[in-house]
Amino acid sequence: MSPAEEAANILEQFGVVSTGDLASYSPIDGSEIGRVGTGDPALAGDRAADAFRRWRSVPAPRRGELVRLLGEELRGAKEPLARLVTLESGKIVQEGLGEVQEMIDICDFAVGLSRQLYGLTIASERPNHRMMEQWLPLGPVLVISAFNFPVAVWAWNAALALVCGNPVVWKPSEKTPLTAEAVLALVRRAFERFGDAPEGLVQLVQGGREVGEVLVDDPRVALVSATGSTAMGRAVGPRVAQRFGRVLLELGGNNAMIVAPSADLTLAERAILFAAVGTAGQRCTSLRRLIVHEDVYGQLVPRLKQLYSSVRVGDPRELDTLVGPLIDEDAYAAMERALGGGLERVDGVAGGFYVRPTLVEVEQQEGRVLTETFAPILYVMRYRKFEDALRLNNEVPQGLSSAIFTNDLREAEQFLAAAGSDCGIANVNIGPSGAEIGGAFGGEKETGGGRESGSDSWKAYMRRQTSTVNYGKDLPLAQGIRFDIAP
């Protein structure tokens, strides 16, 4: 079946009517697979502000119930939604399923969290006083998501935002509007079962940059959580800061892996393959730089070249395909530029941009190696001293993810220590991509500094309030200050 026919069937299952001015094209064959209408961002701001006034006072465990129902809807629709992810983003079937599983996982996490939005009690220095900290709903959250995780990254944000008491406005990538519509259909079903969720609690606003900008500048939007390129973050961050809004940025990565002499090379090989060629190199956590010790270089690198040549590139719907198409022609052109020309298209499905993942051996870490090209290019370099490997790991502008393969405890711990990897994610004996939702996700430097998903990332979606309560009959001042009118 053609991607267009398949997409039409799936959209029908979700009750999504394909109409409007924004077309979606499948990277599988470049064909148009559906249309959506562009939204009205100012109206979305009004509706979100109204919804916030009601939702913030709903008890958090009850808010969790809505997310629980959404998780159930996602479980029931896992296969068709994953299929639509494959059709619209070009990721292989296994990765499409993984993406929807990631949504289900974060819903489960958020449901538990809805009963655990704990604050602290703090010892007061004054007699008969109690200090405490509580976490209160923040306000509408704008989620700007990218094509490469068209639904999971929205879910990381939305599931937490909802249990934290905040409405969600979603501006998905223009390249993946249909998966967003399908998710919204599931949200509506969850709403119906929930009963009394305020209108406008979860809204989808389709369109390009201009649509996003209206909401970025809307003072009622309390948090802008944006995933995408560093250039996008540079545009969004200062605009939100200008109005003292909150931003959570998850931008580019240029993730490295160090392979030490003691590494289990069989494991390393598999990890490298998944991280560097998986999702056709279009994850923000994709492995882009491989730093190999000179003693194992001669063994590992030829083996990788062999694996690279046997990886099956093609239609992502075929089960033995490991590498699907690039998202579009621009991505292909960017890869070709990074390689200095001469990139050949691989036969996949006519109309799609299929490429063979490429390994490039370099002597120095400079020029194009310092930039993130969203394509399956892996730069390979060698090192002699461990300090040099660490330096190479850190000497790029980005700071998302990193990994080391070593069986030397000292090296592993040094990699994780204060003078070790400077990234938000640092792994030992697993690759840099494919994180679980339970940990906080995000990175430093040009990656933007935000943290989403697990651990205590939820705190970014709430307003912290410090309260001191005096239950005594005196009014002692802090720091022992005396402030009395003389008798």
Instruction: Kindly report the backbone phi and psi dihedral angles of residue 165, in degrees, each rounded to the nearest multiple of 5, phi listed first.
Output: 100, 20
Residue 256: CB minimum distance to ligand UN1, A: 15
Residue with tokens 């059709």: 87
Tell whether residue 148 is a contact of ligand UN1 (CB under 6 A): yes
Residue 483: CB minimum distance to ligand UN1, A: 54
> In this chain, which of 206, 285, 414, 457 binds ligand UN1, going by CB under 6 A?
285
Residue of 107, 164, 284, 423 with catalytic role = 284
**Sole window of 67-75, 106-114, 279-287, 332-340 interacting with ligand UN1 (rule: CB under 6 A):** 279-287
Q: Is the dihedral of CA 150, 277, 267, 417 positive or negative?
A: negative
Q: Tell me the C-alpha distance between 447 and 113, whole Å.
A: 26
Taking CB under 6 A as the rule, which mask of x and - marks residues 160-179 in contact with ligand UN1? --------------------
Residue of 6, 95, 102, 250 with catalytic role = 250
| Interface with ligand UN1 in residues 291-350 (CB under 6 A) | none
Considering the complex, state which of residue 137 and residue 450 has its C-beta at the smaller distance from ligand UN1. 450
Nearest CA among 423, 427, 338 for reference residue 374: 338
Are 143 and 160 in contact by the 8 Å Cβ rule? The answer is no
Are 205 and 39 in contact by the 8 Å Cβ rule? The answer is yes
Residue 161 exposure: Cα atoms within 13 Å on the Cβ side: 29
Considering the complex, state which of residue 44 and residue 400 has its C-beta at the smaller distance from ligand UN1. 400
Residue 433: CB minimum distance to ligand UN1, A: 4
Considering the complex, state which of residue 113 and residue 153 has its C-beta at the smaller distance from ligand UN1. 153
Residue 452: CB minimum distance to ligand UN1, A: 9
Q: Tell me the C-alpha distance between 464 and 472, whole Å.
A: 25
Residue 20 exposure: Cα atoms within 13 Å on the Cβ side: 20
Residue 435: CB minimum distance to ligand UN1, A: 3
Q: Tell me the C-alpha distance between 433 and 427, whole Å.
A: 9
Considering the complex, state which of residue 26 and residue 427 has its C-beta at the smaller distance from ligand UN1. 427
3-state class of 292 per DSSP? strand
Considering the complex, state which of residue 301 and residue 334 has its C-beta at the smaller distance from ligand UN1. 334
Residue 180: CB minimum distance to ligand UN1, A: 15
Tell whether residue 227 is a contact of ligand UN1 (CB under 6 A): yes
Instruction: Mark whether 284 is an active-site residue.
Output: yes
Residue 285: CB minimum distance to ligand UN1, A: 4
Tell whether residue 274 is a contact of ligand UN1 (CB under 6 A): no
Residue 252: CB minimum distance to ligand UN1, A: 10
Nearest CA among 139, 168, 141, 166 for reference residue 224: 141
Cβ neighbours of residue 281 under 8 Å, at least 6 residues apart?
288, 357, 374, 375, 376, 377, 378
Tell whether residue 435 is a contact of ligand UN1 (CB under 6 A): yes
Q: Tell me the C-alpha distance between 349 and 366, whole Å.
A: 35
Considering the complex, state which of residue 140 and residue 434 has its C-beta at the smaller distance from ligand UN1. 434
Q: What are the DSSP calls for 123-160, one per residue?
A: --SSTTEEEEEEEEE---EEEE--SSSTTHHHHHHHHH
CA dist 4 → 9, 23, 27, 28 (Å): 9, 12, 11, 10
Considering the complex, state which of residue 296 and residue 326 has its C-beta at the smaller distance from ligand UN1. 326
Considering the complex, state which of residue 106 and residue 201 has its C-beta at the smaller distance from ligand UN1. 106
> In this chain, which of 14, 135, 147, 149 binds ligand UN1, going by CB under 6 A?
149
Nearest CA among 273, 324, 279 for reference residue 431: 273
Taking CB under 6 A as the rule, which mask of x and - marks residues 230-269 in contact with ligand UN1? ----------------------------------------
> In this chain, which of 83, 283, 317, 451 binds ligand UN1, going by CB under 6 A?
283
| Interface with ligand UN1 in residues 57-76 (CB under 6 A) | none
Are 183 and 81 in contact by the 8 Å Cβ rule? The answer is yes
> In this chain, which of 434, 443, 448, 454 binds ligand UN1, going by CB under 6 A?
434
Q: For residue 83, give both structure tokens.
A: 């299929």
Catalytic residue numbers, as ranges: 250, 284
Which positions lie near ligand UN1, rule CB under 6 A? 102, 148-149, 153, 227, 283-285, 433-435
